[in-house]
């Protein structure tokens, strides 16, 4: 006996199939979980991510078709690169950060693995600033006047309060009150910085005391080789090496806000297979003027 389905049910099933195909192969949505990407993206906002940006990653795998590299400055959605024995890589937790280093780049990083000596990619990138505690009331008044909302006190050190401001916010504050004593906390870190090469597929990276631990962790987690560190020496498969040729492309991801550690300072280099896609636009925000705004 032939079964006839009502038209509305056929339309509903077709729409459901199209929606699943779009989510699996073209776009996905995610909610910004924290303040780490302010002022580019705010906590609670929902964004569309273009899954074709770096080559199509097949559903439920990390296999890609026509793989393409992320570019410096991209805001990228990616899987947590730290291996999880209970879940495959494509099912690990999600992070969203700005790509600061692409395969083959050299970054100057300080002891806290913050990028130094680098031109700012975005006016939304934040930095830590210190100011005398006596100026707290004045600063709060200016923040309210400039409509800079949600800027929380980070900490206290050497008689000063700490807050994080974007470069644009800092500019506005200095224009408003030139006597305000805002001092960038990491302004002198360049002297303590070292060059870190971001590995590219087929590239040999030289081992130094300042990068040996980072390289070792990357080899163990992503290169399927045994590695260890003794002193400042890297051992791979039981042999001391002064360089290592990588089999994958890697990236260095950073948060806009330096107090948020959910970036490469926490989980190290991010292999290309972890990338899901490039943040495209905001489709929900409590700030109506930001809805459908492109992510840059």
Indicate the number of domains in the chain. Answer: 3
Q: Is residue 179 part of a domain?
A: yes
Same domain, residue pair 28 and 65: yes
Provide the pLDDT for residue 182: 85
Same domain, residue pair 135 and 88: no
Q: Is residue 56 part of a domain?
A: yes
Same domain, residue pair 91 and 1: yes
Same domain, residue pair 62 and 8: yes
Helices (H), the chain: 7-25, 136-145, 167-176, 212-222, 264-267
- Contact present, 200 and 249 (Cβ < 8 Å): yes
Same domain, residue pair 92 and 147: no
- Contact present, 154 and 164 (Cβ < 8 Å): yes
Extended strands (E) in the chain: 27-31, 46-50, 56-57, 64-65, 75-79, 94-101, 106-109, 126-132, 155-157, 160-166, 183-184, 194-197, 204-206, 227-230, 233-236, 239-241, 243-245, 250-254, 270-271, 275-284
Provide the pLDDT for residue 21: 43
Q: What is the CATH number of the domain that holds 181?
A: 3.30.70
Same domain, residue pair 261 and 244: no
Same domain, residue pair 132 and 99: no
Roughly how many angstroms between the first and final C-alpha of the chain, as a whole number? 57
- Residue 25 burial (CB < 10 Å; 0-12/13-18/19+)? middle
Residue 125 neighbours by CB distance under 10 Å = 22
Q: Is residue 287 part of a domain?
A: yes
* CA pair distance 107, 166, nearest whole angstrom: 21
DSSP 3-state of 127: strand
- Contact present, 164 and 82 (Cβ < 8 Å): no
Provide the pLDDT for residue 118: 57
Provide the pLDDT for residue 66: 79
Q: Is residue 241 part of a domain?
A: yes
What is the biggest distance separating any 2 CA atoms in the chain, rounded to whole angstroms?
A: 86
Helices (H), 47-166: 136-145
Same domain, residue pair 239 and 267: no
Q: Is residue 115 part of a domain?
A: no
Q: What is the CATH number of the domain that holds 277?
A: 2.10.109.10
Same domain, residue pair 208 and 149: no
* CA pair distance 215, 197, nearest whole angstrom: 10
pLDDT means per 10 residues, the chain with 296 residues, are: 57 53 64 89 93 84 84 95 87 92 92 72 78 90 88 86 87 80 71 85 94 96 95 95 97 89 92 94 92 92
Q: By 3-state DSSP, what share of the chain in percent is helix, strand and coil, each rounded to 5?
A: 25, 30, 45
- Bridge-based pairing of strands 275-284 and 270-271 is unpaired
Provide the pLDDT for residue 191: 54
- Contact present, 246 and 89 (Cβ < 8 Å): no
Same domain, residue pair 64 and 80: yes
- Contact present, 156 and 133 (Cβ < 8 Å): yes
Provide the pLDDT for residue 22: 45
* CA pair distance 279, 260, nearest whole angstrom: 19
Q: Is residue 138 part of a domain?
A: yes
DSSP bridge partners of 49: 28, 279
Phi-psi sector, 170: left (phi>0), alpha (psi -120 to 50), beta: alpha
Q: Is residue 191 part of a domain?
A: no
Q: Is residue 269 part of a domain?
A: yes
Same domain, residue pair 215 and 267: no
Provide the pLDDT for residue 24: 46
Domain that holds residue 241: 104-110+197-248
Give the angle 263-211-97 at the CA atoms, nearest 5°.
15
Same domain, residue pair 88 and 15: yes
């Amino acid at each position: 006996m032939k079964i006839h389905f009502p038209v509305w049910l056929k339309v509903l099933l077709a729409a459901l199939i199209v929606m699943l195909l779009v989510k699996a192969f073209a776009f996905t949505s995610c909610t910004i979980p924290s303040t780490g990407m302010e002022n580019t993206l705010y906590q609670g906002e929902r964004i569309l991510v273009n899954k074709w940006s770096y080559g199509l990653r097949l559903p439920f795998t990390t296999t890609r078709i026509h793989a393409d590299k992320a570019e410096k400055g991209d805001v990228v959605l990616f899987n947590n690169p730290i291996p999880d024995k209970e879940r495959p890589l494509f099912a690990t937790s999600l992070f969203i950060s700005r790509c600061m280093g692409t395969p083959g780049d050299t970054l100057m990083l300080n002891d806290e693995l913050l990028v130094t000596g680098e031109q700012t990619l975005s006016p939304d990138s934040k930095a830590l600033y210190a100011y005398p505690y006596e100026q707290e009331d004045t600063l709060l008044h200016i923040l309210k006047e400039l409509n800079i909302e949600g800027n929380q006190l980070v900490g206290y050190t050497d008689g000063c309060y700490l807050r994080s401001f974007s470069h644009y916010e800092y500019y506005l504050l200095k224009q408003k009150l030139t006597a305000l004593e805002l001092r960038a906390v990491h302004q002198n870190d360049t002297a303590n910085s070292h060059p870190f090469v971001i590995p590219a597929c087929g590239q040999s990276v030289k081992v130094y005391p300042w990068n040996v631990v980072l390289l070792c962790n990357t080899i163990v987690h992503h290169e399927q080789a045994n590695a260890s560190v003794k002193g400042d020496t890297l051992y791979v498969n039981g042999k001391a090496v002064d360089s290592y040729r990588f089999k994958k492309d890697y990236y260095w991801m950073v948060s806009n806000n330096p107090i948020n550690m959910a970036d490469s300072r926490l989980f190290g280099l991010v292999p290309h297979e972890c990338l899901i896609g490039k943040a495209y636009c905001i489709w929900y925000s409590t700030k109506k003027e930001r809805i459908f705004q492109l992510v840059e």
